[in-house]
Structure 1
Amino acid sequence: MNRSVFWALVRKDLYLRRAMIIAILVVGLGSLVLASFGGRAFAVGGLLFLTANVAGGLFMAALSLFGERRALARGFALSLPVSGRYYDLSKLVSGFLAFGIPWLVLTVAAVGGMFLPGGMPGMAVYALLIQLFVIAQFAVVLAAYSCITSEAVSGVVILFVNVALSLFMMQINQPEILGPWRGDAIVWTPFARVTLLAELAVIAVAVAFTYIMASRRRDYI
């Protein structure tokens, strides 16, 4: 593998995604500022924050793999001193970096904000679990887009992950689950521990699947 070409491809993708990265950061951080005012502003800010994460992740995944394949841009890979396998791997790396950078910033801001004066440190667990679900959702979509070419199937994938998100948010906001976190103590309840392990497992499996698909691909046109 020509490492200089590989990382040049990654940097190229990050440069092309810079506007989307900035947009996710601006909307996400702005929504946290809005939520800090409390009341209805908290509800609106929380909704905007989740939207910036979820919509940004789905759009970034589509740009990273599905959109490029539809434009037949993979043919360009055949003219480069890098194998098709590593070309696809560069899309995986750039995709995770393009979304991972703003995701990490927003996660640190959301979790860290719980420890500011007036915050509830216990809710840091709540914020972390939601953010991990978002990155797991992104990993699943990226994995799906690595092996599908149909727009109809991609629509089914989007529907599936959005339904999963709705069910997750409904579950995590149940009073008996949310209650232990409404305070100063950080409590890792059985639900929190199981959810954390499940999210990490989904991320690991999705990344491994995407890498395997890139390794086994033979048709790049």
Structure 2
Amino acid sequence: MPAARTVTPDGDVILLVSGESAAARAAAHAQDDDLTAVIEITDVAPVSVPHRIRGRAWLAGWLTHVRGDDRAACAALLAERRPVGELLGLHGRPSFVMLRLEVGEISVDDLWGAEHVDPEELATVEPDPMVNHETELLQHLAAAHRDRIADLCALLGPRESAGTTAVPLALDRLGLRVRFTGDGGSSFDARFDFPAPVRDVCDLRRAMHTLFAAAGHR
């Protein structure tokens, strides 16, 4: 598993891996399209809920070492995610190396369905503003506001909610997804869209208040 990863402005994926890893050894002498590789990314819900895997993505392409003048630029990109100077041996002998995956194909299978993604989109996509807060916020909602999350079922129209548990499953700038599970173990997901995309945690608080207020008036 990479210690860190990031995406370059050109859409390549930069991976920080142990110099002793199989990937690093295989890529040591690879040139251009010599070595093909697939990265599988699994998205697991940060709360206790049936069927916790929210999605998987597969990125296939060509793997090489990051060399020469590219090392400094790629290290700077990785450093935006986590400190990497010590791992890269900037203060001594390197224990980790950087690999580049030139992406040729992307497949995604998640809560919205399965589809192929144009690799060029990887270079232009922006992270969701909630990505760094989602885990903490979902865990807080599940621990401290589960009754209010369950009240959102009122927004779904006529539906039997007795004995149903509700757990917040996913959160992004556009809305909240909740998994409702009945006594018999059957479950369904419901998506609650915000009135407008949220830009930060302050926006999110207002959006959640609006959702809870709407559910309370049903």
Q: Name the TM-score, length of structure 1 as normaliser.
A: 0.27
Tell me which protein shows more strand as a share of its residues. Answer: 2
Tell me which protein shows more helix as a share of its residues. Answer: 1
Q: Name the TM-score, length of structure 2 as normaliser.
A: 0.28
User: Whose RCO is larger (CA < 8 A, sep 6+)?
Assistant: 1
